[in-house]
Structure formats: C-alpha cells, structure tokens
C-alpha cells in the first residue's frame, strides 16, 4: 500500500507539472499579431515553461473573437470594437491604435467639422476601420460616403477615399484629398512616415494634427473604444509635432482569455509575455507595442467595460499564487485520501493478522484437546484418526506461517501443542502394540509391561 500511495503521489506531481497547452485564435491575416504570438509560442517552448501555445490562424479579428466566444480557443486576438465576446477578459494590449487626422496647413482643415464637403483619404482597407471613421464623422453631424467620382463633395458630407501610401503625397499636394485619417499606433514608424508626407505636401512644410473631439462622450457612445493620448513632440521636424498632447480615441488589439481560464494559468501567460518582451522584440518589432491595460483599482479593472482577467491582475499587482497555494486544495485532498488509504491498509493488515492468529490459536486448542482425549483412549482406530488429525493441523499451521510471519509466542505454543499431542498419541499406540508413531521424547521413556499398566 505505501508503494501504491507513492505511485499515486508521483502521478499527481507529473500531472500537475505537465505543460499546459492553450489554443490561441490568431488574427488578422497580414497583421503584426500573428508574428508576435508565433515568436511568443516559440520562446515558451524554448524556455521549457509550463505553458505552451498552439496557434490557430483566422482571417480577421471577428473570426478569432468568435472562436473564443464559441469555446474553440482558450486565448484569442480580439479587437473589441469589432466583436467583443461575452466570455472574454483581457490579459494584455498587443497594439493600441489612435485615430489621428493629418492635414496640410494650407488645406484649412483643423477639426472634424472642417471636413464637411471635403475628401478624406484613408490607407487601411479594413472594414472595421471604415466603420470607426463613419461613427466619428456622424458624431459631428456629418454623413460619410465612400468616394465621390468627380465634382464637388455635397455639403454636410465627407467623402472617404482609399489611397495607397505611395500616392499619398501627390494626392494631398494636388488637392484630390484634403486630409488623411490614420488608425495606427502613434509610435510606429508608419505614423512618423505619414506625418512626414503631410509636411512635404504643404507649401510651408506645416501640418495640422487633430484627433476625435469630446473623448469622454465619444467613449460613452462607443464603449468598445478606448482613450488614447498622442504625446506632444512625438513626431520629428521643425518644430516638433504636435505642439501639445492630443487626446483622441482608438481601437486596441488585445490578447484575451476565456473567463473560465484559471487565474494561475492566466497569470503565467501574462507574466511570460512581459518578461520575454525584450527577447521577442528581436524577432518582431510588434513586441515593443505590448502594454498592460490601464486601471485604477482592482474592482475597477474587473468591472470595466473591457474587464481584465483576475489572473492578469494578480501578475500586475504581484500577487501570483505559489505552487503550494495554487494546488493547496489538491494537496490537502491527496493527504487526506492518502491517510485514509493508509488507515484502511493498516486495518486490513491487523484484521488479516488477527484472522491468521485466530486460526493458529484454534489449531493449538484443538491439539491440546486431542492430547487430553488421547490420554484416556484405548481404541486403536480412534488413536490413529487422532494421529492423522495432528498431522493435518501441523500442516495447516505450517502453511499459515509460510504465507506471513506470525507472532513468535503463537508459533511456539503451536509447536509445543503439536509435539505434546503427537507424544501422547504415540505412547497410547505403543502401549496397545502399535509402534508406527514415536517422538524423541517417547524414545527416552521406558515402556511398562502391559500387565503392570495402571493406565
């Protein structure tokens, strides 16, 4: 039984320490997130971490979010303003986009209301970005249409015109578009390039930068977005741009986990992601964009519009559970169960030992009874039957002793009883003319004449 408990303990340890493999729904196709998570999965495998990732690619963030929602994945890349699964909680922000409009100073465009009757360029072909622009334009009482073939743009309307980056400078210079709206990470090289293109398109090398106005009320209307601040002086040039912080709104690409994922596993995924961020940046620049979601209090983090997983909060607040704390309940159960098994095993051993001892004691009592009966027996056939029974009882005692060691005093008593019973039966048979049974004790005892027997 101790061996069984040891095997069970080893099995439990191997099970608890075996790497946990999580399925990750990765999107969008062509985005920076798939490369980032591939590098992360490789880093986890190379470091022998207790977490492993199995990536499943999807074409868009809507599909990856649906995979998490439908239970096909443990983690997923989610853009909340496109689709927010009801069972999703944030671990980390992989990329934070800001909505920023770049307009040559000569265009006179200095805010969303000034876009009325103008053509607004957009680089991103994603439908989700177009929908976000539409919502922001409509917030200012304007309507958005996709392109206007020639002629002036109707009043109260903004024409959204797709444009390639290579053609952006020419389109701004010749007035085909009045401004370009960017939905990108403000610190990215792409953002710096596009602001530079806007400078070059102006005769005085000056641009106007602005974001979504009325951020608080915009977020109240569109709670899946988030507040973003473009810091002053972020973009190079003379002068540095912008002159002051620009508050705006934006979308985020998040690594989200199903709500039922254990806190300890969620904490490990989050911890490894941030601890490996510097190494991941060597494989993909997207690692530099990874950040944690902002929150003031733990209650606020778990009750926000985009709530954070409690396991991620454990990491952020350095309150992760140790191995003992994580599996405390299991350890107690194993200890209790193991102690119960040990008690049962001990009871069985005692019970079996008592049964074995009782059998030997019964045999010993029977041997003493045979000796007592033999002393007054004169029938030779009965004495021979007694001799045979003695042999059977002796063999039974020997078999029990061979199976498991018995108590010494019990075996000594049984041996004395066997010898005493055989000696008595042998003497009675000798006295009645039967010499087939004798013991060492009999050989030393003189045989009395029959006519002098008083027996």
Integer Cα distance of 376 and 388 in angstroms: 18
Has residue 356 got a pLDDT over 70?
no
Has residue 5 got a pLDDT over 60?
no
* Region for 151 from its dihedrals, namely left if φ exceeds 0, alpha if ψ lies in -120 to 50, beta otherwise: left
Tens of pLDDT, residue by residue over 135-186, are 999 999 999 998 776 788 999 999 999 999 999 999 999 999 999 999 999 9
Instruction: Give the CATH class of 98-250.
Output: alpha beta
Task: List Cβ neighbours of 372 (8 Å cut-off, separation of 6 or more).
Answer: none
- Placement of tokens 């177009």 in the chain: 130
Q: What is the pLDDT of residue 302?
A: 75
Has residue 7 got a pLDDT over 70?
no
Task: List Cβ neighbours of 310 (8 Å cut-off, separation of 6 or more).
Answer: 89, 263, 266, 302
Q: Average model confidence (pLDDT) for the chain?
A: 84
Has residue 355 got a pLDDT over 90?
no
Q: What is the pLDDT of residue 376?
A: 81
Q: What is the pLDDT of residue 298?
A: 78
Tens of pLDDT, residue by residue over 60-99, are 999 999 999 999 999 999 999 999 999 999 999 999 999 9
Integer Cα distance of 287 and 414 in angstroms: 83
In our burial notation (b when 16+ CB lie closer than 10 A, e otherwise), range 435-451 reads eebbbeebeeeeeeeee
Q: What is the pLDDT of residue 213?
A: 87
- The structure tokens listed for 248 are 């705006």
Has residue 284 got a pLDDT over 70?
yes
Q: Are 2-94+254-326 and 98-250 the same fold in CATH?
A: yes
Has residue 439 got a pLDDT over 50?
no
- Domains of the chain, by residue range, sit at 2-94+254-326, 98-250, 329-452
Confidence of residue 404 (pLDDT cuts 50, 70, 90): low
* Weakest-pLDDT range from 213-217, 287-291, 336-340: 336-340
Q: What is the pLDDT of residue 56?
A: 97
pTM: 0.67
Confidence of residue 264 (pLDDT cuts 50, 70, 90): very high
Radius of gyration of the chain (CA): 45
Tens of pLDDT, residue by residue over 290-313, are 999 988 887 777 777 889 999 999
- Match domain 2-94+254-326 to its CATH number in 3.40.190.10, 2.60.40.10, 3.90.850.10, 3.90.1150.10: 3.40.190.10
Q: What is the pLDDT of residue 4?
A: 54
Q: What is the pLDDT of residue 446?
A: 42
- Candidates 25, 45, 144; CA nearest to 85 is 25
Mean pLDDT of the 18-46 span: 93
Integer Cα distance of 316 and 431 in angstroms: 100
Q: What is the pLDDT of residue 323?
A: 45
Confidence of residue 351 (pLDDT cuts 50, 70, 90): low
Q: Tell me which range, 90-94, 335-339, 352-356, 402-406, is most confidently predicted by mean pLDDT.
A: 90-94
Confidence of residue 407 (pLDDT cuts 50, 70, 90): confident
């Amino acid at each position: 039984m101790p061996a069984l408990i040891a095997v069970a303990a080893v099995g439990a340890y191997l099970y608890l320490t075996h790497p946990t493999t999580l399925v990750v729904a990765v999107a969008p196709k062509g985005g920076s997130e798939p490369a980032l998570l591939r590098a992360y999965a490789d880093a986890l495998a190379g470091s022998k971490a207790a977490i492993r990732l199995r990536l499943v690619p999807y074409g868009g963030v809507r599909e990856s979010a649906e995979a998490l929602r439908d239970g096909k994945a443990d983690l997923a890349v989610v853009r909340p303003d496109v689709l927010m699964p009801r069972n999703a909680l944030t671990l980390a922000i992989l990329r934070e986009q800001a909505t920023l409009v770049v307009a040559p100073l000569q265009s006179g465009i200095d805010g969303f209301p000034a876009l009325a009757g103008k053509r607004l360029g957009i680089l991103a072909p994603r439908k989700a970005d177009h929908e976000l622009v539409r919502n922001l334009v409509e917030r200012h009482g304007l309507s958005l249409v996709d392109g206007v073939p020639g002629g002036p743009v109707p009043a109260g309307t903004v024409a959204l015109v797709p444009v390639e980056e290579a053609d952006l400078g020419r389109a701004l210079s010749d007035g085909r578009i009045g401004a370009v709206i960017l939905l990108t990470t403000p610190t990215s090289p792409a953002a710096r390039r596009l602001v530079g293109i806007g400078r070059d398109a102006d005769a005085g090398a000056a641009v106007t930068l602005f974001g979504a106005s009325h951020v608080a009320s915009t977020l109240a209307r569109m709670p899946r977005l988030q507040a973003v601040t473009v810091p002053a002086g972020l973009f190079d040039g003379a002068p540095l741009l912008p002159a002051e912080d620009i508050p705006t709104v934006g979308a985020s690409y998040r690594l989200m986990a199903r709500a039922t994922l254990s806190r300890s596993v969620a904490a490990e995924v989050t911890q490894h992601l941030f601890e490996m961020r510097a190494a991941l940046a060597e494989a993909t620049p997207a690692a530099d964009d990874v950040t944690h979601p902002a929150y003031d209090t733990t209650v606020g983090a778990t009750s926000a519009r985009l709530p954070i997983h409690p396991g991620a909060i454990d990491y952020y607040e350095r309150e992760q559970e140790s191995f003992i704390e994580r599996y405390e309940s299991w350890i107690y159960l194993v200890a209790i169960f193991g102690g119960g098994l040990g008690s049962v095993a001990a009871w069985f051993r005692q019970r079996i030992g008592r049964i074995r001892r009782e059998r030997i004691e019964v045999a010993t009592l029977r041997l003493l009874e045979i000796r007592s009966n033999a002393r007054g027996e004169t029938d030779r056939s009965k004495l021979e039957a007694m001799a045979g029974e003695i042999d059977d009882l002796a063999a039974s005692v020997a078999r029990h002793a061979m199976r498991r060691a018995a108590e010494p005093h019990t075996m000594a008593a049984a041996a004395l009883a066997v010898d005493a019973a055989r000696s008595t039966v042998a003497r009675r048979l000798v006295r009645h003319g039967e010499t087939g049974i004798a013991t060492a004790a009999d050989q030393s005892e003189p045989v009395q004449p029959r006519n002098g027997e008083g027996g």
